[in-house]
Chain A
Amino acid sequence: MNESLRNILTVGKRELSGYFNSPVAYVFIVIFLSLNGFFTFMLGGLFERGEANLNAFFMWHPWLYLFLVPAAGMRLWAEERRVGTLELLLTMPIAAWEAIVGKFLACWVFIALALGLTFPVILTVGYLGHPDYGAIVTGYLGSFLLAGTYLSVTVMTSALTRNQVISFILSVVVCFLLIFAGWEPVTGLLVRWAPEWAVNIIASLSVMPHFTTFSRGVIDLRAFAFFGSVITFCLFANSVILRGLRGA
């Protein structure tokens, strides 16, 4: 097995076991599922809609993840910095990027697991009607990528501080901007003083249009490219932050 891959797996395994060795994992999963149920059935009115699709389920995910993903990932680096294990980890014979990717993947897998546990909602619409299963699969894929995008932001902000609360708040704010960048009132505000190309760039940072293409059942390569580049950028920024920490 490739050595980098092995290091990533080792770090990731440790991180994932960290979730399940503490109450974090169970609390997170219970809250994630409860909130999903509440939003989908009570606020989203899945039954009242009379449609055999999961729009009422997926439409809440950008908001749900806004708080839950930073909560799951806020400790990734902040805790290592607070306890001092950062020194241990970075003096092990592994590259910093391997540790970053390992941590990121571990948390992403954990969130995917929680997302996977929402499967009863598929059974529900399948029982009630004839849903487009293709759209459900792409919806899940979009939701998974969205979580990964938020998570990459969280991993990055987590390296900025040894305080988990600050890490959480920073992450929520950045993810919030990623949602609202393309929103009418925001772009309307910007258009008054910013040049059009700048407004376009900011608006194009929004996760929403890319997320909604997935839940409509469309697999758009541009959406992949968007999520992929945000994740890559954030993880790279993470490595720069870590290098800065060690240099200072």
Chain B
Amino acid sequence: MIVVEHLSKDFGPKRAVNDVSFTVQKGEILGFLGPNGAGKSTTMRMLTGFIPPTAGRVTIGGFDVAENPIPAKRLIGYLPESAPCYSDMTVHGFLNFAAEIRGIHGAKREEAIRKAVGLCFLDGVLHQSVDTLSKGYRHRTCLAQAIIHDPEVLVLDEPTDGLDPNQKHEIRLLLKRFGQNKAIIFSTHILEEVDAVCSRAIIIDRGRVVANGTPADLRARHELAGSVTLRTHGVAAEAIKSRLSTLGVAGKVRLDSAESAVLVRVFPRDKTVNNELAKAVAQLAAREGWSFEDLRTEEGRLDEVFRSITLPDTVKQSD
């Protein structure tokens, strides 16, 4: 549904977005990650036709956004970064305007408003003026505007920003439900959201795509991903380490100290074979009668992957 090809945007001498390409299919939820100022909002603004790209092309449902903006925009529901609303209107008036400009008329309009209001939990404030609303309500009012025409494509710039934890949870559930039959792209700073919602994630840094994959793919990039950690005490650690090194499936073994305990980390020889290592380590531990407090396989942490990708100046540890 969304096809982005070699998209670039210059602001004066500064290149904000640099040769970004990706696609989002129907039924996919793409998480768009990146540090502040990485070019997330600029990319979304080009996707929705608000600003024209310097180079490259965006196609929404087959319509080129630059050449054929109106039919392309019809397919999109857009929540801009600051969730702007017309503050002199009531929530109902605002949604009525959004529905009308989307070409929803007659009885269908009230129906569409009712549905969007229900999905975004706005029932209590329907006839309140927008400028009397709290930030969370205003945010959801703008979100309601984006989904009022049941669009095939949703472009959401930080949809959970400014919401309390319960509301965040509700919005994530909503996104997951929508994700079944829409193409969704949303940006976020919150990495747990990627795990909770996305089927795929893109990390963008200084205008470039630096990673593109499923959340599991991204986590696997973590240096500890796939390693098995044994938490133990005392001097036995050295002995454990040397025994573990003899395991066939084990690669490098390392000792890390953690608070009062010692962590023995075993890295797999072959990263693609899952679970084999944990099983082997557990069997060996049982045979040798080691006393340990915890044994687990590290999945890799998204936040650290994110940091290591978007902070190229830091010295990356290598095995």
Chain A interface (Cβ within 8 Å of chain B)? Answer: 6-7, 10-11, 13-14, 17-18, 21-22, 83-85, 87-88, 90-95, 246-248
Chain B interface (Cβ within 8 Å of chain A)? Answer: 11, 45, 48-52, 70-71, 73-74, 76, 78, 80, 82, 84-89, 93, 97-98, 100-103, 129, 142, 145
- Find the A residue at minimum CB distance from B70: A93
- Cα distance, A246 to B86, chains bound together (Å): 20
- A17-B93, A21-B89 given; A92·B73 CB < 8 A: yes
Query: Judging by beta carbons under 8 Å apart, are B51 and A246 in contact?
Result: yes
Name the distance in Å between A136's Cβ and chain B's nearest Cβ: 35
Which of chain B's residues have a CB closer than 8 A to the CB of A91?
48-50, 73, 76, 78, 80
- Cα distance, A94 to B101, chains bound together (Å): 8
- Find the B residue at minimum CB distance from A20: B88
Name the distance in Å between B10's Cβ and chain A's nearest Cβ: 10
Query: Judging by beta carbons under 8 Å apart, are B88 and A22 in contact?
Result: yes
Which of chain B's residues have a CB closer than 8 A to the CB of A10?
97, 100-101
- A91-B50, A92-B101, A247-B52 given; A14·B86 CB < 8 A: yes
Name the distance in Å between A39's Cβ and chain B's nearest Cβ: 31
Which of chain A's residues have a CB closer than 8 A to the CB of B129?
21
Which of chain B's residues have a CB closer than 8 A to the CB of A6?
103
Which of chain B's residues have a CB closer than 8 A to the CB of A14?
86, 89, 97
Query: Judging by beta carbons under 8 Å apart, are B86 and A87 in contact?
Result: no
Of the listed residues A6, A88, A94, A95, the one surrounded by the most CB atoms of chain B closer than 10 A to its CB is A88
Name the distance in Å between B151's Cβ and chain A's nearest Cβ: 10
| Contact sample, A vs B, 20 pairs, CB 8 Å cutoff | A6-B103, A13-B97, A14-B86, A18-B89, A21-B88, A21-B129, A22-B88, A83-B84, A83-B86, A84-B84, A85-B86, A87-B50, A87-B80, A88-B80, A90-B50, A91-B50, A93-B73, A93-B103, A95-B70, A246-B51
- A18-B89, A83-B84 given; A92·B52 CB < 8 A: no
Query: Judging by beta carbons under 8 Å apart, are B49 and A88 in contact?
Result: no
- Cα distance, A94 to B85, chains bound together (Å): 18
Which of chain B's residues have a CB closer than 8 A to the CB of A94?
70, 101
- Cα distance, A167 to B57, chains bound together (Å): 35
- A7-B101, A91-B48 given; A18·B86 CB < 8 A: yes
Which of A13, A22, A84 touches B80 (beta carbons < 8 Å)?
Answer: A84
Which of chain A's residues have a CB closer than 8 A to the CB of B142?
88
- Find the B residue at minimum CB distance from A22: B88
Of the listed residues A7, A14, A247, the one surrounded by the most CB atoms of chain B closer than 10 A to its CB is A14
- Cα distance, A90 to B85, chains bound together (Å): 13
- A14-B86, A248-B11 given; A93·B50 CB < 8 A: no
- Cα distance, A90 to B84, chains bound together (Å): 13
5 closest A-B pairs by beta carbon, nearest first, are A84-B84, A93-B73, A91-B48, A93-B74, A85-B84
Name the distance in Å between B53's Cβ and chain A's nearest Cβ: 10
Query: Judging by beta carbons under 8 Å apart, are A93 and B11 in contact?
Result: no
- Cα distance, A109 to B250, chains bound together (Å): 80
Which of chain A's residues have a CB closer than 8 A to the CB of B45?
87
Name the distance in Å between A213's Cβ and chain B's nearest Cβ: 39
- Cα distance, A133 to B78, chains bound together (Å): 53
Query: Judging by beta carbons under 8 Å apart, are A11 and B101 in contact?
Result: yes
